[in-house]
Amino acid sequence: MTKQDRAVRTRLALIRSAAAQFEARGYVRASLAEISAGAGVSSGALHFHFANKAAVAEAVEDAAARALRAAAVRSRCDDGCALQRLVDVTHHVARMLSADGVVRAGLRLNVEGAAGRVRDLRREWRECVQGLLAEAERRGELAAGVTPQRTGAVVLAATTGIEVLAREDHGWLARPSLTDLWRLLLPCLAAPRLAGALDPAGSEAVGKEPAGRQPAGSEPVAQDVPAEAGRAGLALR
């Protein structure tokens, strides 16, 4: 293993450990000593990668942001029914939140502004939902009288509520929770021609990652190492 590979692995281990500490103890109570111990490295190794706790938190948030944005981009780029893609992306995000502590911790840090909030993931999620609903309207997929604006507000309230409730009980992120939500919403939202064609449980492709893809906290980031080497201790932007 090269020195660069070891540095990448160490950084990823620190991000995963920090996410676990932030989720379990909160930003204020989490300590750098606990984060470095959880990653199995020295405090000196931690400070080589991150200047302080705020920089660690920003790195966790950035990793979560990349994963969530990738899900949103895939939902917009795929072909097929926009309403089904909206259903699918909610299931995909719920699956990520359930399985990946880095995504959970990063979203929570972002919402609470613990890392300085240089980005707003809730706003980006709103834009994803509203964009898919606007596309559904253009395609004639929405029922008469249904508007993207009012529908988007309902979907955002419901999905945000599930994410908040899941902080105490991950069962809220289970597939049946969102399936029940969409069973209630789709008959009210979808044009009659789509009756029976939409799957509230998500299409077969929902949540499937490209071969070799890993969770946000363990994705290889070798392409970022050269840039980081010149600014050791600074979080990714």
- Quick check: is 181 in a domain? yes
* CA gap 67, 204 in Å, rounded: 20
Q: What confidence tens digit (pLDDT) does each residue in 153-178 have? A: 999 999 999 999 998 898 999 999 99
pTM (global) more than 0.85: no
Q: Which residue has the tokens 């020295």?
A: 42
Q: CATH number of the domain that 19 lies in?
A: 1.10.357.10
From the list 33, 31, 13, the residue with the least C-alpha distance to 22 is 31
Which of 9-13, 43-47, 206-210 is the least confident region? 206-210
Q: What residue numbers bound the domain in which 105 lies?
A: 3-205+224-229
Q: Evaluate whether residue 237 is within a structural domain.
A: no
Q: Is residue 214 part of a domain?
A: no
Categorize the per-residue pLDDT at 182 as very low, low, confident or very high, splitting at 50, 70 and 90: very high
Within-domain flag for 218: no
CB contact at 8 A, 101 and 16: yes
Residue 35's H or E segment, with its range, is helix 32-39
Question: For the chain, how many structural domains are there in total?
Answer: 1
- Crossing angle for the helix pair 148-165 and 121-138, nearest 10 degrees? 140
